[in-house]
Amino acid sequence: MTDAGSTPRARTRARRVRLTAGSTLLVIGAVFAAAVLVALFEAARRPLGWALVASVLAWLLSWVIGLLDRWIPRGIAIAIAAVGFGILLSGAWVGVSATIQSEVGQLRTDLPRAARDLEQRYEAVAEFRLSARAEAFVTSLHDRFGTRAQVAEAAGTVPTYLVIGILMLFLVGYGPRYISAGLGQISDPVKRESAAAILDRASRTGRAYLLVALAQVIVVTAICSLVFYLLDLPAPFVLGLLVGSLGAIPYLGILIGGLAPLIAAATNPNRTVYLVLTVLLVGLQLVEALVVRRRVDRHTLRVGPAVALIGAIIGYGLYGLGGAIYGAAALVFLWALLQAMPDRSAGAPAPPPPPVDDPPTDDLPAEDPPAAATGPASAAPDAGRVRTLEISP
C-alpha cells in the first residue's frame, strides 16, 4: 500500500557472493604461485641480470657483426667484433675508473661545501636540505668508485665479466637460430611473416636509437668535461659524465644533470662561471630537443622521457647503477616492439558519413532545359526537375 500521490518504491534484489570450494582453491593457488615466482626471482636475480646484460650487448653487437658479415665469414666477423669490443670496453673502463677514482675524493669535499654555501644564502635551499642530499650523493659515488671499492670489487667482477662474455658469444652465435625456431612454431604463414617483420623492425629501430643515444652521451660528456676543466670546476670529468649520462633522457636530461656543476660552482666568486654554465647547458638541451631529437624520432624511434626514466628507475632498484643502464635499454626495446606492431584500428570499416540535408530549392537557379534534349528518355529527368521547382514553396 502506498499513500495517494506517492510513487511506489522499486523492488531491489540483494546480491550475495558465495565462495565455492573451487574458487577458494583458485585464489589460494594464485597467491601461492605469486609467492613462488617472487622467491624464484629473488633467488635467480643475479643470473637474470647476467642474461639481461648479455642479451643487450649481443643485440647491439649484432649490428657490427652484420656489417662485417658482408665481406668476411660470419664466424670470423663474430670473433673480430667480440675481441674488438672487449678491448675497447676494457680500455674505456680502466681509463674512466682511474679518472673517476682520482676525482671522487675532491668532489666529496667540494660539492657538500658548495651546497652548504647555497643553504646559507637561500632559505628555500636550506628547507630542501641540499647539503644532506649532496653528501649522500658523493658518498654513494665514493662507495662505488673509491679506491677501497675498486679493490674489493676487482676480485668479484672478473668471473662475472667472464660469464657475461661467454653468454654474449652464445647469444650472438645461436640467438638468431632460437628466434627462427620460435617463429617456426607459428603454423599460420601470414601470422609468422607478420611476427618476423615486427621483430625485425623493432630490433632495427631500437638498436639504432640506443646507438645514437650512446654517441650523444660520449659527445656531451666530452664537451662538458672540457668546458668544466676550463672553468676550473672540481672533478670536471665526473660532472661531465653525469651530464652526458643523464642527457640520454630526452628533452630534460641535460638540464637535470647540469644541477651538479651549478652547485659545484657556488663557491666560485666569479659570476661569469654561472653565466657560461647556464648558456652551455641550455644550449646543449636546445640542440638535443630541436635538432637531434627530431632526426632521431624521424629515422629511428620516438621515445619520451617517461620510458627512459621508468626503465632506469626499475633497473637501479634491482641491480644498481648498471641495472639502470640496461633496464632503460630493455624498456626501449619493448617500446620499439609496441611501436612496430600494426595498427589494428586501421583495418576497421570506416563509419558512414553523417547525413547531409538537401539544400533548399529556393536558392537553386532555374535552368532552361537543353535544346538538344529530345525524346522520352531525355525528357523524363528534365520534367522531374521542373516539377520539383514548381512545387517548392
Q: Are 258 and 243 a contacting pair, CB within 8 Å?
A: yes
Whether the pLDDT of residue 389 is over 70: the answer is no
pLDDT, residue 216, reads: 93
pLDDT for res 352: 52
Interval 361-365 mean pLDDT: 48
In this structure, are residues 228 and 261 in contact, taking their beta carbons and an 8 Å threshold?
yes
Q: Per mean pLDDT, which of 8-12, 23-27, 103-107, 181-185 is the most reliable?
A: 181-185
Return the residue matching grid coordinates 641491480.
319
Instruction: Judge whether residue 379 has pLDDT over 50.
Output: no
pLDDT tens string 321-330: 778 888 889 8
- Model confidence pLDDT, tens digit, residues 35-73: 888 888 777 788 888 888 888 888 888 888 888 888 888
What pLDDT score was predicted for residue 11?
Answer: 61
Q: How confident is the model at residue 288 (pLDDT cuts 50, 70, 90)?
A: very high
Q: For residue 219, what pLDDT is reported?
A: 94
- C-alpha grid cell for residue 383? 520534367
Give the C-alpha separation, 314 to 316, whole Å: 5
Question: Does residue 279 register a pLDDT over 90?
Answer: yes
Q: What is the pLDDT of residues 126-161, one digit of tens each?
A: 777 887 887 777 777 766 665 555 544 544 566 777
Percent of the chain with pLDDT over 90: 16
pTM: 0.70
CA torsion, ordered 53, 54, 60, 63, to nearest 10 deg: 180
Residue 356 has pLDDT above 90, yes or no: no
Measured torsion, CA atoms of residues 354, 359, 360, 364, in degrees rounded to the nearest 10: -170
Which grid coordinates are listed for 386?
521542373
More confident residue, 9 or 343: 343
Mean pLDDT of the chain: 78
Report whether 311 contacts 330 (CB < 8 A).
yes
Ranges 120-124, 194-198, 234-238, 355-359, most confident? 194-198
Q: Amino acid identity of 203?
A: S
Q: Judge whether residue 10 has pLDDT over 80.
A: no
C-alpha to C-alpha distances, 345 to 105, 125, 199, 304, 348, nearest whole angstrom: 57, 51, 20, 23, 5
State residue 64's pLDDT score. 84
Summarize the confidence of residues 202-222 as an average pLDDT: 92
Best CA proximity match to 216, nearest among 172, 190, 253: 253
Q: State yes or no: pLDDT of 366 exceeds 70.
A: no
Contact 65, 168 (CB under 8 A): no
* pLDDT over 60 (residue 80): yes
Q: Which of 320, 309, 310 is nearest to 145 (CA)?
A: 320
Q: What pLDDT shows up at residue 385?
A: 43
pLDDT of res. 380: 44
- Comparing CA positions, the residue from 206, 169, 218, 242 lying closest to residue 338 is 206
Residues 6+ apart with CB under 8 A from 329: 56, 210, 311
Mean pLDDT of 295-311: 89
Q: Give the 3-state secondary structure of the chain.
A: CCCCCCCCCCCCCCCCCCCCHHHHHHHHHHHHHHHHHHHHHHHCHHHHHHHHHHHHHHHHHHHHHHHHCCCCCHHHHHHHHHHHHHHHHHHHHHHHHHHHHHHHHHHHHHHHHHHHHHHHHCHHHHHCCHHHHHHHHHHHHHHHHCHHHHHHHHHHHHHHHHHHHHHHHHHHHHHHHHHHHHHHCCCCHHHHHHHHHHHHHHHHHHHHHHHHHHHHHHHHHHHHHHHHHHCCCCCHHHHHHHHHHHCCCCCCHHHHHCHHHHHHHHHCCCCHHHHHHHHHHHHHHHHHHHHHHHHHHHHCCCCCHHHHHHHHHHHHHHHCHHHHHHHHHHHHHHHHHHHHCCCHHHHCCCCCCCCCCCCCHHHCCCCCCCCCCCCHHHHHHHHHHHHHHHHCC
* Domain range annotation of the chain: 45-342
Confidence band, pLDDT 50/70/90 cuts, at residue 289: very high
Q: What angle, 0 to 180 degrees and rounded to 10, lies between the N-to-C axes of helices 45-68 and 305-319?
A: 130
